[in-house]
Amino acid sequence: MTPLNTNLLLNCMLTISFLILMWRIDDPNILITLFAFLGFLMFLVLKFILVLRDRKSKSSK
């Protein structure tokens, strides 16, 4: 996969997971809210890793 496609897919997944988190924030079952939050954090960490790796590869050139 090219970096542009990877970034676009990750941005879409980050947006979708955020929307699911906002949709489930008032759920009476705390586990559903916790899993939605953990899913959002997972995509957020992946985004940070990809951005830092991309910046590191650009600065070494």
Listed by start position, the domains of the chain span 6-51
Q: What is the pLDDT of residues 1-44, one digit of tens each?
A: 567 788 899 999 999 999 999 999 898 999 999 999 999 999 99
pLDDT-based confidence at residue 58 (cuts at 50, 70, 90): confident
Please tell me the predicted confidence (pLDDT) of residue 17: 93
Please tell me the predicted confidence (pLDDT) of residue 27: 86
Please tell me the predicted confidence (pLDDT) of residue 2: 65
SS3 for the chain is CCHHHHHHHHHHHHHHHHHHHHHCCCCCCHHHHHHHHHHHHHHHHHHHHHHHHHHHHHHCC
Please tell me the predicted confidence (pLDDT) of residue 23: 93
Please tell me the predicted confidence (pLDDT) of residue 5: 85
